[in-house]
Amino acid sequence: RDLHSFPTRRSSDLLQLEISERKRAEEAFHKTQAELAHLTRVMTMSELATSIAHEVNQPLAAIVTNGDACVRWLGLEPPNLDRARDSVARMINEGKRASEVIKRIRALSKKTTPHKSALQINELIHEMIALLGTELLKNKIRLTTQLGPDVPLVFGDRVQLQQVILNLVVNGIEAMSEVQGRSRELLMRTEKASSDRVQVSVQDCGCGLDAEQSEHLFEAFFTTKPGGIGMGLSISRTIIEAHGGRLWASPTSDYGAKFQFALPMAEGSES
């Protein structure tokens, strides 16, 4: 009879352990979800591969943890079958989660296969603004556009170039999130820069660029944001350079930062 008190105590210890492990796994999952949402904004095919390992590792780790727990529940004298069954049920759920991540990534990668055509950059910007309407409102941001009437067409991938623009705008919005006591202004400009280039700029009046940090902005995983990943600008630069262009940042005279990119115009385009 006395023997039973030992497994009971072990049971409650194990239960405690399981609860804290589960809580940790849940928190990690929510964080991953938020990161994925942020990443898909700017994700290209090659970068997707990097995130797959990370995304799938978490459910795999949870499966191992629950497998260990299950073995322990079964090893008790007498075995606790209810708890063992719960652990197996969680393993099944984690397995399903892993396959959902893969499915989502597959769907994404289909969308990001580059497809180049002649594009009017002003049109892309208009589409972006329509998409961002509520985000701008919510953050009390006043957007001004100065879209050159004579901007030539560029030859590029619509989705990728939209991802770059979206990333620059979202960074501008985020940079202004702490601005108080002055208006939050975002300026988007397009112009014909030289005889054969189209230039786009996104200027905000947010926290601005620290001279020391400026050197690192475009490096992968450089971020100053608590929830940031630091992939946006590095992916954006990769995209622009793959289009034969250039992307750079400069401080503005008073507050904020200006991000600009230049792209070669499409051959034979003089729209």
Q: At what angle do helices 81-111 and 5-40 cross, to 10 degrees?
A: 10
Q: Of residues 65, 166, 204, 247, which one binds ligand ADP by CB under 6 A?
A: 204
Distance CA 230, CA 219 (A): 8
- Asked if 239 is part of the footprint of ligand ADP (rule: CB under 6 A), the reply reads no
* Cα angle 6, 9, 13; round to 5: 135
Beta carbons within 8 Å of 245's beta carbon, 6+ residues apart: 261, 262, 263, 264
- Asked if 247 is part of the footprint of ligand ADP (rule: CB under 6 A), the reply reads no
Q: Considering the complex, what minimum distance in angstroms separates the CB of residue 37 from ligand ADP?
A: 12
Q: Of residues 152, 156, 206, 245, which one binds ligand ADP by CB under 6 A?
A: 206
Q: Considering the complex, what minimum distance in angstroms separates the CB of residue 39 from ligand ADP?
A: 9
Can you give the C-alpha Rg of the chain in angstroms?
25
Residue window 69-98: x/- pattern of binding to ligand ADP, with contact defined by CB under 6 A: ------------------------------
- Asked if 225 is part of the footprint of ligand ADP (rule: CB under 6 A), the reply reads yes
Q: Of residues 12, 224, 250, 271, which one binds ligand ADP by CB under 6 A?
A: 224
Strand, coil or helix: 224: coil
- Asked if 32 is part of the footprint of ligand ADP (rule: CB under 6 A), the reply reads no
Residue window 160-179: x/- pattern of binding to ligand ADP, with contact defined by CB under 6 A: -------x---xx--x----
Which CB sits closer to ligand ADP, 51 or 66? 51
Strand, coil or helix: 131: helix
- Asked if 223 is part of the footprint of ligand ADP (rule: CB under 6 A), the reply reads yes
CA distances in angstroms from 213 to 149, 165, 203, 220, 224, listed in the order given: 35, 21, 18, 13, 9
Q: Considering the complex, what minimum distance in angstroms separates the CB of residue 142 from ligand ADP?
A: 16
- Of 64, 58, 53, nearest in space to 91 by CA: 64
Which CB sits closer to ligand ADP, 70 or 186? 186
- Of 179, 136, 168, nearest in space to 249 by CA: 168
- Asked if 151 is part of the footprint of ligand ADP (rule: CB under 6 A), the reply reads no
By CB under 6 A, which span of 134-142, 143-151, 227-235, 239-247 interacts with ligand ADP?
227-235
Which CB sits closer to ligand ADP, 80 or 167? 167
- Of 176, 102, 89, 106, nearest in space to 136 by CA: 176
DSSP 4: G
Which CB sits closer to ligand ADP, 20 or 224? 224
Distance CA 164, CA 175 (A): 16
Binding-site ranges for ligand ADP (CB under 6 A):
167, 171-172, 175, 204, 206-209, 217, 222-225, 228-234, 257
